[in-house]
Structure 1
Amino acid sequence: MESTSTRTRTLSRTLGRVAEALCTPLVPADYLDIVAPMRPGARRAKVVAVRPETARATTLVLRPAFRWPGHRPGQYLRLGVDVDGVRLWRSYSLTGPQRPDGTLTVTVGALDGGAVSSHLQSVRVGALVEVDGPDGVFTLPDVAPAKTLFVTAGTGLTPVVGMLRTRLADLRDVVLVHSARTADDVMFAEELRDWAAQGRLRLVERHTATQGRLTAAALADLVPDVAERETWACGPNGLLDEIAAAAEAQGWTQRLHTERFRPVLVEPGTGGTVTYGRAGVTLEADGATTLLAAGEAGGVLLPSGCRMGICFQCVVPLTEGSVRDVRNGVVTTATAEDPALVQTCISAAAGPCALDV
């Protein structure tokens, strides 16, 4: 005989499916986002502190609503914010381990014309941001190398400071070469200089306003044994290209690990070319037809349970481009380096886009 608790759970699940069917295309989770945006399991975080690092860089302390799975030093998370009705995603390196109180830190550098960085520079305590991650392979090995070199420029310092804050005690013979416009533009300057004063690392600051741009040739002069060191480099593409070329010419490519800045150039529109990658199908869709309907009309078999009231079965990775939520007009943008999960039953093309399905 069925127990009372079993009947109660069955009734609860049935009522939930009925509720989802009745409010399609909205689902109960959409309403919960309004009344309980930080409910357990929601993929977002609250900004609990804002701390300026320099005139153009700000550290955000985030408290995730979900159980953080943990991350390796050097990895990043993706933050989604709504700017003028468009949801934009950008990647930011985690600048330390998860704190005992469960919070995380990222540091955002201002970019001229950067919609997300400008938004986050002025964000206030209590603001909510969407969160995805962690991800990234720009990390230290479990066994620390005998000799380590970090080469960074500008905000390229952020993943490296995450490594140092977590693993500096494990590292031996550490050199950090960092390039910034002036001494005042060096992020985490007091902390880095304290480590150097304590003899825990050798810090070389390159101030480009007076000393010129850091180059591979200058790096070889600053660190004569560069070819012997396991090297992690993060910064502008030009600098990393030079270092990679020098490493190849001198035979230490296998000891070089790089993380590159990736500008986002996607501009949302209305409708566009949709590529269903694994299916090998490309078609044109207007701005009113969902990606699910467009794909099915084009012969693409897409995962979904929408018509049976089973939600979130149609979630797939958007690998490039922009899509618009047909319910509220919010646009989600992604790049090949920073994909985003979207629901095909409520998303329409907002310009050229590609799905990993």
Structure 2
Amino acid sequence: MALHLDSPPAPRAASRARDLVAGLVRAATTPLVPSDYLDLIAPLSNPAALRGRIVDITPETADAATITIRPGRGWAGHVPGQYIRIGIDVDGVRQWRAYSLTSPADAPGGLITITVKAMTDGVVSNHLVRRARPGTLVHLDQATGDFTLPSPLPERILFLTAGSGITPVMGMLRHLDRWAGATDITLVHSAPMADDVIFAGELRELAARRVITLHERHTRSAGIVEPAHLDELVPDWRDRQTWACGPTAMLDALEEHHAAAGLADAVHTERFRPVVIAPGGGGTVTFLGAGVEVDADGSTPLLDAGEDAGVLMPSGCRMGICYGCVVPLRRGVVRDLRDGSLTVAEDGDSIPVQTCISAVAGACAIDL
């Protein structure tokens, strides 16, 4: 039988073809919604999940680099001295770490920067410094932290930093540079050797322009800066507000030193290694709507605890769709496994929590 290309297909064949196409479309799109397509096609434009894209990686020293990020829609900005939490996938596992913002608050193009030092056995820091590439998509939290400068500025400021402790202060210095001469700034910075000084060229250039008075100390040859050295390095330290960031021992000694001088309120510290909060002791979690009650330990995400018990849990996490697992906490306490913070709900409350990063910290009930 001859086939004429200009002949219309038989009605039944056309109907079957339409049904087949429609079925394929439904299979391909279920359970996605329009916002999910936006998330896949233009991830920086989705306001429901804050992301950023790495646009540049600039080496600072042999083991440190500045990561320039273009934040997506929803970025609320930052105050110099604050930090952000970065989420990045390393070998198939999403890892979260906090890093100080080193860019001024109004950097050109809305770009932000973090400066990362690769630490021994540091999974994320080594990945960012040595393996990450421009174009990489990262997850972001909004900026936070109170290691910031007041308004109006003090007449005299002392920054005391060591190693990567210069990073939050660098954001402040870049902000202060535009008001050169408006306040008297002294920076005492320590690093093992000259080649280990992060931002070395920029710090020395600020000193050459007399924006700051710089005391750069190389500890392998000159020893560690002790608070007692301030009498020689910064004779008027008692008249200055001090911001310090560096090793815990340095900060502890500085706080004791200022407290002994009756100046405890004049020193402000930023500690990169906060106290580790142990996961909660666990408890009973009730999945309302499913009629299921299970005991869970304090390190298992509620999402996993529910799925292990056969509960159909809402989630888009494994498809890369964030916040699909958010459900109301009706009562009880859960702990954020990222930072140990607690969310408490009393009877009658309806507080949204992410089940993929929350664990039970006492009896609780969530709605489905």
TM range (shorter): 0.7 to 0.9
Tell me which residue corresponds to 1:244: 255
Pairwise CA distance, 1:68: 2.3
Aligned pair partner of 1:259 in 267, 270, 288: 270
Tell me which residue corresponds to 1:126: 135
Say whether the 8 Å CA contact 1:274–1:353 is kept in structure 2: yes
Partner Cα distance (2:207, 2:168) in 1: 18
Q: CA RMSD in A?
A: 4.0
Aligned pair partner of 2:296 in 270, 284, 289: 284
Partner Cα distance (2:250, 2:60) in 1: 24
1:206 aligned onto 2:217: yes
Say whether the 8 Å CA contact 1:64–1:103 is kept in structure 2: yes
Tell me which residue corresponds to 1:39: 45
Structure 1 spans left out of the alignment, 5+ residues: 1-17, 277-281, 295-303, 322-333
Partner Cα distance (2:146, 2:357) in 1: 30
Say whether the 8 Å CA contact 2:38–2:46 is kept in structure 1: no
Pairwise CA distance, 1:228: 1.3
Tell me which residue corresponds to 1:108: 116
Tell me which residue corresponds to 2:153: 144
Pairwise CA distance, 1:191: 1.1
Q: TM-score, normalised by structure 1?
A: 0.73
Pair 348,226 (structure 1): closer, same or farther in 2 beyond 3 Å: closer
Cα displacement string for residues 103-160 of structure 1 (whole angstroms, at most 9, x for unaligned residues):
1111111111111101111210100110001100000011010111000111110111
Pairwise CA distance, 1:186: 0.9
SS in 2 for 1:314: strand
Say whether the 8 Å CA contact 2:85–2:97 is kept in structure 1: yes
Pairwise CA distance, 1:348: 7.4
Say whether the 8 Å CA contact 2:116–2:125 is kept in structure 1: yes
Tell me which residue corresponds to 1:194: 205
Partner Cα distance (1:168, 1:356) in 2: 51
Pairwise CA distance, 1:235: 0.8
Paired letter, 2:66: T
Matches within 5 A, 1:1-357: 23=31, 32-41=38-47, 42-97=49-104, 98-121=106-129, 122-170=131-179, 171-262=182-273, 273-274=281-282, 284-285=296-297, 290=303, 293=306, 313-314=326-327, 319-321=335-337, 334-336=338-340, 343-344=354-355
Pairwise CA distance, 1:206: 1.1
Partner Cα distance (1:222, 1:30) in 2: 57
Cα displacement string for residues 265-312 of structure 1 (whole angstroms, at most 9, x for unaligned residues):
6899xxx94379xxxxx9534969637859xxxxxxxxx999xxx956
SS in 2 for 1:101: helix
Pair 35,169 (structure 1): closer, same or farther in 2 beyond 3 Å: closer
Partner Cα distance (1:231, 1:356) in 2: 44
Cα displacement string for residues 300-333 of structure 1 (whole angstroms, at most 9, x for unaligned residues):
xxxx999xxx956527897553xxxxxxxxxxxx
Pair 113,320 (structure 1): closer, same or farther in 2 beyond 3 Å: farther
Q: TM-score, normalised by structure 2?
A: 0.71
SS in 1 for 2:252: helix
SS in 1 for 2:43: coil
Say whether the 8 Å CA contact 2:99–2:115 is kept in structure 1: yes
Paired letter, 1:284: A
Structure 2 spans left out of the alignment, 5+ residues: 1-25, 285-293, 308-313, 317-322, 344-351
SS in 2 for 1:152: strand
Tell me which residue corresponds to 2:21: none
Range 38-47 or range 122-131, more displaced:
38-47
Q: Give percent identity, aligned residues only.
A: 44
Pairwise CA distance, 1:70: 1.8
Partner Cα distance (2:364, 2:58) in 1: 38
Partner Cα distance (2:142, 2:81) in 1: 13
Paired letter, 1:314: V
Partner Cα distance (2:111, 2:206) in 1: 24
